[in-house]
Amino acid sequence: MAFRLKLVPEHTAIDFFRAQKITFGISTLLAVLSVVVLFMNGLNFGIDFRGGTTIRTESAQPVDVGAYRAALAPLDLGDVAITEVFDPGFRADQNVAQVRISAQDGVEAVTPETILAVEAALQTVDPSITFPSVESVGPKVSAELIQTAIYAVLASLVAISIYIWLRFEWQFAVGAIVSLIHDVLITMGIFALFQIRFDLTTIAALLTIVGYSINDTVVVFDRLRENLMKYKKRALRELMNLSVNETLSRTVMTSGTTLLALIALLVLGGDVIRGFVFAITFGILIGTYSSIYVAKNVVLWLGVKRNWDKNDPETKKKSASPFEGAEEV
């Protein structure tokens, strides 16, 4: 017999509703906490969303944030943030920092003169410094980008709920949307909590999470729909457990391969896209959780319309052995 790695045993009969109250409590708590953190800390918006300029510096000399700051102070640029960037992929003599200058009053983009002045000031501190990237976004564009980002997230939620509603029933659509909002909120909460830079690519990451999470949810829903047709008399809750158990191996497997690929990218993919990859990685974990614990709970509470007969004695009989009766209806 050949060896097979089984991340999930062949037969599982986990009652995913047993810890219903706890998981629901945790989910609600996390979502509420995320909102609180979002309001208290706010998001660390990148220049895409609040305008300004970022300059990436690279030098063979170690980064001296204090000296950089002192050099830039006479330029009177308002809010200047300087952070050193670390990455395992950097060479030994590669010292990278990120200088962020907030949008200047009355100008759309920072003028080339300002950028040259900043570069010259930094060169006095460290003559070997180079500037691999300079990005500048005006307040007009950044305001529009925020709007576009909000539209994108809303549009995807609406489009998906319509699709789920058409393919399944409205209860499923509600369940899917609740779990998606749950995922997006908590991911944003993490960004607010750790003040990870939130920019346009983060929005793309959020939408990817939405896509992945709905993917997972749909697979469970699809099985549930099949089981609802197959076992007309069994309790919804039981069928849900059955469906999740039946698809558990797939859920774990797909999350596993996706996470493997993403963790490789997170560790080795460089610092430029680390925020983006982090958002997706975290989102996939939370998305996998939410499709098991959030989406179908909502559907259970809403109930699904079906030929329901409470007093039918057949119900109990059939439910005794969940893996039998594979005949199609």
Partner 1 sequence: MLQIDRWKRILILGICLLGLAYAMPNAFYTRVEAHNDAVARIEATGVTTPELVAARDGWPSWLPSSLVNLGLDLRGGAHLLGEVQVEQVYKARVDALWPELRRALAAERDAVGAVRRVPSPEGTLAIEIGNPDQLARAVEIARGFSTPVTTLTGAGQQSLAIDATGSTLTIQLSDAEKALTDDRTIQQSLEIIRRRVDEVGTREPTIMRQGEDRILIQVPGIGSAGELKALIGTTAQLTFNPVTGSTSDPEAAPGIGQFLAPSLDQEGLYYILEDSPVVTGDDLVDAMPGTDENGMPSVNFRFNPTGARAFGAYTSANIGQPFAIVLDNEVISAPVIRSAITTGSGQISGSMNFEQASQLAILLRAGALPAELEFLEERTVGPELGQDSIDAGKVAASVGFIAVIALMILSYGRLGLFATVALAVNMALLFAVLSVIGATLTLPGIAGIVLTIGMAVDANVLVFERIREELRTARGPARAIELGYEKAMSAIVDANITTLIIAAILFVLGSGPVKGFAVTLTIGIVTSVFTALFVTRLLTVMWFERARPKTIEV
Which residues 46-75 are close enough to bind partner 1 by CB under 8 A? Answer: 56
**Which amino acid would we find at residue 261?**
A
Three-state DSSP at 289 gives helix
**Structural tokens at position 161:** 């709920």
163 counts as binding partner 1 under rule CB under 8 A? yes
Residue 13: partners with Cβ closer than 8 Å, 6 or more residues away: 241, 245, 322
What CA–CA distance (Å, rounded) separates 212 from 125? 47
Chosen residue from 136, 171, 227, 241 binding partner 1 by CB under 8 A:
136
Chosen residue from 64, 84, 222, 238 binding partner 1 by CB under 8 A:
222
Contact segment (CB under 8 A) with partner 1 among 16-24, 33-41, 65-73, 206-214 equals 206-214
* Residue whose pair of structure tokens reads 């007969």 in the numeric block: 309
18 counts as binding partner 1 under rule CB under 8 A? no
Chosen residue from 164, 178, 185, 192 binding partner 1 by CB under 8 A:
164
Three-state DSSP at 197 gives strand
DSSP state of 216: H
State whether the Cα torsion 286-288-293-296 is positive or negative. Answer: positive
What CA–CA distance (Å, rounded) separates 37 from 16? 29
HSE on the CB side for 119, CA within 13 Å? 19
Q: Interaction with partner 1 in 99-128: which residues (CB under 8 A)?
A: 108-109, 112, 115-116
146 counts as binding partner 1 under rule CB under 8 A? no
Chosen residue from 99, 160, 185, 190 binding partner 1 by CB under 8 A:
160
CA distances from 40 to 43, 46, 193, 198 (A): 9, 18, 9, 16
Closest CA to 225 of 175, 174, 172, 178: 172
Q: Give the residue with the Cβ less far from partner 1, 23 or 199.
A: 199
**Structural tokens at position 97:** 């920092």
**How far apart are CB 15 and partner 1 at their closest, in Å?**
20
**How far apart are CB 21 and partner 1 at their closest, in Å?**
30
Chosen residue from 67, 196, 219, 302 binding partner 1 by CB under 8 A:
219
Contact segment (CB under 8 A) with partner 1 among 62-70, 98-106, 146-154, 306-314 equals 146-154
138 counts as binding partner 1 under rule CB under 8 A? yes
43 counts as binding partner 1 under rule CB under 8 A? no
Chosen residue from 7, 36, 70, 73 binding partner 1 by CB under 8 A:
7
Mark 237-276 with x for binding to partner 1 (rule: CB under 8 A) and - for no binding: ---------xx-xx--xx-xxxxxxx-xx-xxxx-xx--x
Chosen residue from 148, 194, 229, 316 binding partner 1 by CB under 8 A:
148
**How far apart are CB 176 and partner 1 at their closest, in Å?**
9
State whether the Cα torsion 105-108-110-111 is positive or negative. Answer: negative
Q: Give the residue with the Cβ less far from partner 1, 218 or 304.
A: 218
Chosen residue from 75, 134, 181, 236 binding partner 1 by CB under 8 A:
134
Q: Interaction with partner 1 in 297-326: which residues (CB under 8 A)?
A: 323, 326
**Structural tokens at position 328:** 């199609």
What CA–CA distance (Å, rounded) separates 127 from 150? 43
- Whether the CB-CB separation of 7 and 256 falls below 8 Å is answered with yes
